[in-house]
A and B are shown apart, each in its own frame.
Chain A
Amino acid sequence: MAVNIVKILPLLLTVFAYISTAASHADQGAPVQSFFERHRGSGSAHTNNWAVLVCSSRYWFNYRHMANALGMYRTVKRLGIPDSNIILMLADDAACNPRNKFPGCVYANSGRHLDLYGDNIEVDYRGYEVTVENFLRVLTGRMDESVPRSKRLLTDDRSNIFVYMTGHGGNEFLKFQDNEEISAFDIADAFEQMWQKKRYNEIFFMIDTCQANTMFSKFYSPNILATGSSEMSENSYSHENDFDIGVAVIDKFTHYVLQFMEGINKTSQASMQDLFDTFDPKKLDSHPGVRSDLFRRPLDKTLVTDFFGGVAQVEIIPPVLDEPVTLAGEQALRTDASSATGDQDVFIDPTTLAVTCDAPNASTTTASGLRQHVGPGIDFTILIAAAAQSEVSPQTSLTSTLRAWTSSVLILALVSWTAVTRNRHPSGQ
Chain B
Amino acid sequence: METLSKAALAFESPLTRRSIIASYFLVILLALPLWWNTTSIERQALPISRVSAQTGRELLFPVHVAVNTSASDINAGVLAQEVQRYVNRNEDFTRDGLELRVSSDAATAKDYQVNVRFGTHDPVVVGREVTVEVPPEHASVAAMRVADTLATLLAPYSSLKSLATASHAERVVSYSPRYRLAFTLLNEDAAAGNAALSWDVRGALSAQLSPFLERLSVLHNFTIESQVQYHGPLAFEPRGLQVAEKTQYGLTPEDLTVFVNSAEWMLSSSVSNDPVLHFIAFIPSSKHTPLRILDNNGIPTASSAFMLPQWGGIVIYNAETIGVARTLATRPLDNIFATFRQQLSALLGVPELPAHVQARSPGVSDWQLDALIRRRAAENTAGAQETLQSILRLVAQIGDMPVGEDVRGDVEDALAALDKTYSSAPSSAVEALTFASKAQVVASRAFFNPGMLALLYFPAEHKWAVYAPLFASVSAPLLASVIREFLAWKKERAAKKARSEQRQKVD
Contact = CB atoms under 8 A, between A and B. Distances in A.
Contacts of B476: 411, 414-415, 418
A18 B355 contact: yes
A45 interface: yes
Interface stretch (B58-66, B159-167, B193-201): B159-167
A313 B255 CA distance: 11
Contacts of A376: none
A119 B400 CA distance: 43
A185 B444 CA distance: 24
A352 interface: no
A193 B301 contact: no
A417 to B, nearest CB: 8
Contact of B257 (A6, A149, A313): A313
A17 B122 CA distance: 11
Band of interface residues on B: 35 or more
A427 to B, nearest CB: 9
B203 to A, nearest CB: 13
Contacts of A267: 254-255, 257-258
A167 to B, nearest CB: 16
B303 A333 contact: yes
B352 A336 contact: yes
B92 to A, nearest CB: 10
A281 interface: no
Contacts of B260: 80, 82, 310-311
Contact of A340 (B253, B263, B453, B458): B253
A156 B175 CA distance: 11
Given A158-B170, A317-B313, A148 B270 contact: yes
A415 B390 contact: no
A317 B356 contact: no
B307 A329 contact: no
A322 interface: yes
Interface residues of A, number: 105
B453 A317 contact: no
A162 B331 CA distance: 44
Nearest to B252: A342
Interface string A127-138: 000001100110
B461 A395 contact: yes
B311 A337 contact: no
A363 interface: no
Contact of A27 (B258, B301, B459, B483): B301
A316 B293 contact: yes
Given A313-B257, A326-B335, A422-B480, A11 B343 contact: no
Contact of B450 (A14, A17, A28, A144): A144
A31 interface: yes
Interface string B257-296: 1111011000110111101000000000000000001011
Contacts of A423: 484, 487-488
Interface stretch (A33-41, A242-250, A288-296): A33-41
Contacts, number: 276
Contact of B479 (A136, A340, A415): A415
A388 interface: no
A400 B464 CA distance: 10
A411 B475 CA distance: 9
Contacts of B387: 197
Interface string A310-341: 11111111111011011101110100111111
A316 to B, nearest CB: 5
A418 B301 CA distance: 94
A11 B356 CA distance: 12
A182 interface: yes
Contact of B394 (A80, A83, A193, A339): A193
A327 B270 contact: no
B480 A415 contact: yes
Contacts of B30: none
Contacts of A81: 262
Instruction: Identify the interface centre among A14, A120, A392: most chain B CB within 10 Å of its CB.
Output: A14
A319 B484 CA distance: 96
Contacts of B311: 47-48, 311
A314 B164 contact: no
Nearest to B301: A27
Contact of B164 (A78, A336, A340, A418): A336
Interface string A340-378: 111110000000000000000000000000000000000
B354 A415 contact: no
A10 B295 contact: no
Contact of B296 (A34, A143, A326, A329): A34
A149 B303 contact: no
A337 B36 CA distance: 64
Nearest to A132: B456
A171 B317 CA distance: 57
Contact of B487 (A141, A149, A337, A419): A419
Given A315-B171, A326-B335, A342 B257 contact: yes
Contact of A82 (B268, B334, B338, B453): B268
B228 interface: no
A178 interface: no
Contacts of B254: 267, 342, 344
B247 to A, nearest CB: 18
Interface string B297-334: 00101111111111101000000100000000001101
Given A83-B262, A415-B480, A316 B301 contact: yes
Contacts of A47: 170, 308-311
Contact of B302 (A77, A83, A333, A419): A333
Nearest to B313: A317
B78 to A, nearest CB: 17
Contacts of B301: 27-28, 316, 340
B502 interface: no
Interface in A149-183: 149-150, 152, 154, 156-158, 180, 182-183
A192 interface: yes
Contacts of B477: 418
Interface string A189-208: 10011001110000000000
B468 interface: yes
Contacts of A140: 448, 452-453
B332 A327 contact: yes
Interface in B338-368: 338-339, 341-343, 346, 352, 354-356, 362
A66 B343 CA distance: 41
B256 A150 contact: no
A266 B480 contact: no
A39 B166 contact: yes
Contacts of B484: 419, 422-423
A114 to B, nearest CB: 16
Contacts of A113: none
A404 interface: yes
A259 interface: no
A115 interface: no
Contacts of A7: 89
Interface string B223-259: 0000000000001100000000000000011111111
Instruction: Identify the interface centre among A84, A311, A318: most chain B CB within 10 Å of its CB.
Output: A311
15 contacts: A7-B89, A30-B296, A34-B296, A84-B270, A142-B453, A189-B457, A196-B390, A197-B390, A197-B447, A316-B303, A319-B305, A325-B331, A342-B256, A400-B460, A419-B484
Which 3 A-B residue pairings sit nearest by Cβ, starting from the closest? A342-B253, A82-B262, A10-B148
Given A144-B450, A158-B309, A267-B258, 5 more contacts: A80-B262, A82-B267, A83-B268, A327-B332, A342-B255
